[in-house]
């Protein structure tokens, strides 16, 4: 297939895209590259990277590349980053998502797979929440996910040939070229390794399901390529029952992997996000099973830290920090730049060419807004 992956340079995207290429698909990534470009050295010949914004990128991309499937893994991807600027969050996570889906529909794309989240269950009612359980999102991030699900399924109800699938992902863990040390398992492993200390927020009794990033990539490919009648208009929880854990127990598991680690409680209010999720539907309907355990993830992140393969201090691996940095940079450009430059004078060389296979290097600085 010819697949457009929005947000394909992110934590999930940069594991998913190589997996799609391995399976013989052609891929067009549309991404702001807020966390860098993991494809700079790509030689597959089957990948095009467009540095673009889902709210504004050129719709001709769909026809130029004969796109027949879209996977949307773009957007502002955690609670604190979404709270930073609620209007911006709406504009990216809801308006941008709607635009992407409308363009796909208009271009005759057959399959659209959306990255929703188990966080739509929010303050879950009981254990083993299924796709038909009530949604009780408790954050702006999760409310935007719930709203996008509704928008997409409404589009599918109107146009049945537009096959929408929503994957409600558990919290993801494991290594990725765009690392995230703000996801529970990754950050606990990093904190235990670097400082021999894990701080548990929100009481620790709250349930969370987890899923390995490579299992997530496989789930997206399954949803993209499964028979239409099995997936069109469907929601699937993505994770595994045995990977539902209470946060304190998770901290103890990480502590056991890294001797000498102390587990302490932060003096915070109880976490309202508390959900224990059932994952039978994706197995029964699509035969999909997650293969990686929590301990696999802890081990691989720990090994990468020990081997120096990932820098725990890189700002880009902390979503909120990177968005704060970009916001500051945008303010500095606005307030201090002369000829769109801060320290140099405009007499130096321009940006180095060929960094990505196709992109428009903007004359204006990268802006969070557009
Ligand atoms: N990681 C998880 O645990 C998890 C769990 C459930 C759902 N999700 C969802 O899956 C998706 C991917 O998550 P992730 O962990 O890879 O996040 P991420 O932040 O690493 O990736 C998001 C990507 O989207 C890009 N992006 C942001 N705004 C954009 C815009 N306006 N236009 C184009 N590109 C833009 C960023 O540059 C980034 O590369 C997100 O929608 C997230 O909400 C993630």
Q: What are 134-147's pLDDT values in tens digits?
A: 999 999 999 999 99
Tokens encoding 305: 């830290």
- Residue with the two structure tokens 């290097």: 361
279: nearest Cα among 232, 319, 244, 329: 244
Across the chain, what does the average pLDDT equal?
93
- Residue with the two structure tokens 């390794």: 193
Dist CA 194 CA 197 (whole Å): 8
Say which range, 16-25, 127-136, 198-207, 269-278, has the weakest mean pLDDT.
269-278
159: nearest Cα among 56, 228, 84: 228
Q: 4, 5, 6, 7: which to mutate for ligand 1, most atoms within 8 A of CB?
A: 7
Number of domains in the chain: 1
Tokens encoding 44: 């597959």
- Here the CATH number for the domain that contains residue 119 is 3.40.50.720
Q: What is the pLDDT of residues 222-259, one digit of tens each?
A: 999 999 999 999 999 999 999 999 999 999 999 999 99
Q: Is residue 156 part of a domain?
A: yes
Phi/psi zone of residue 204: left (φ > 0), alpha (ψ -120 to 50 degrees), beta?
left
pTM, entire model: 0.93
Q: 11, 92, 146, 211: which to mutate for ligand 1, most atoms within 8 A of CB?
A: 11
Dist CA 301 CA 267 (whole Å): 27
Q: What are phi and psi of 290, to 5 degrees?
A: -75, 140
Q: Which domain holds residue 121?
A: 2-320
Dist CA 320 CA 204 (whole Å): 22
Q: Is residue 334 part of a domain?
A: no
Residues 6+ apart with CB under 8 A from 272: 122, 123, 138
pLDDT of residue 268: 79
63 pLDDT more than 50 = yes
pLDDT of residue 245: 96
163 lines ligand 1 (CB under 6 A): no
Q: Is residue 357 part of a domain?
A: no
pLDDT of residue 355: 47
Quote the ligand 1 centre to 178 CA distance (angstroms): 11
pLDDT of residue 275: 87
pLDDT tier for residue 349 given thresholds of 50, 70 and 90:
low
Q: Is residue 108 part of a domain?
A: yes
Quote the ligand 1 centre to 113 CA distance (angstroms): 14
**Ligand 1, atom 43: nearest CA belongs to which residue?**
77
Quote the ligand 1 centre to 75 CA distance (angstroms): 5
CA 164 to centroid of chain Cα atoms: 18
163: nearest Cα among 55, 270, 274, 68: 68
Give the strand pairing for 163-169 and 111-117: parallel
55 lines ligand 1 (CB under 6 A): yes
354 pLDDT more than 50 = no
279: nearest Cα among 183, 185, 210, 186: 210
Q: Is residue 225 part of a domain?
A: yes
- Residue with the two structure tokens 């190589």: 18
361 pLDDT more than 50 = no
């Amino acid at each position: 297939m010819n697949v457009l992956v929005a947000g394909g340079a992110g934590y999930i995207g940069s594991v998913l895209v190589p997996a799609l290429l391995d399976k013989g698909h052609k891929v067009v990534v549309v991404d702001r590259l807020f966390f860098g470009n993991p494809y700079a050295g790509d030689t597959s010949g089957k990948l095009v990277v467009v540095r673009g914004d889902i709210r504004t990128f050129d719709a001709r991309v769909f026809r130029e590349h004969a796109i027949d499937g879209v996977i949307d893994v773009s957007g502002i991807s955690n609670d604190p980053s979404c709270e930073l600027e609620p209007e911006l969050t709406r504009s990216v996570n809801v308006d941008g998502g709607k635009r992407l889906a409308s363009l796909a529909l208009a271009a005759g794309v057959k399959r659209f797979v959306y990255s929703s989240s188990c966080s739509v269950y929010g303050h879950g009612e009981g254990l083993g929440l299924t796709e038909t359980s009530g949604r009780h999102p408790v954050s702006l991030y999760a409310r935007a996910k719930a709203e996008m699900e509704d928008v997409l399924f409404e589009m599918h109800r109107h146009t049945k040939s537009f096959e929408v699938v929503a994957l409600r992902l558990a919290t993801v863990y494991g290594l990725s070229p765009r690392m995230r040390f703000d996801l529970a398992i990754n950050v606990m492993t990093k904190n235990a390794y670097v400082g021999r200390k894990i701080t548990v927020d929100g009481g620790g009794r709250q349930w969370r399901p987890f899923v390995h990033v490579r299992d997530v990539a496989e789930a997206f490919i399954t949803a993209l390529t499964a028979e239409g009648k099995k997936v069109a208009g469907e929601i699937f929880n993505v994770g595994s029952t045995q990977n539902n854990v209470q946060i304190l127990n998770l901290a103890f598991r990480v502590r056991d992997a890294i001797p000498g680690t102390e587990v302490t409680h932060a003096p915070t209010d109880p976490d309202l996000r508390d959900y224990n999720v059932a994952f039978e539907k994706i197995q029964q309907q699509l035969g999909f099973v997650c293969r990686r355990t929590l301990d696999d993830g802890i081990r691989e992140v720990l090994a990468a830290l020990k081997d120096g393969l990932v820098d725990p201090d890189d700002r880009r691996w902390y979503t909120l920090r990177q968005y704060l940095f970009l916001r500051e940079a945008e303010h500095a450009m606005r307030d201090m730049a002369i000829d769109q430059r801060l320290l140099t004078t405009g007499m130096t060389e321009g940006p180095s060419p060929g960094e990505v296979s196709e992109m428009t290097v903007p004359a204006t600085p990268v802006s969070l807004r557009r």
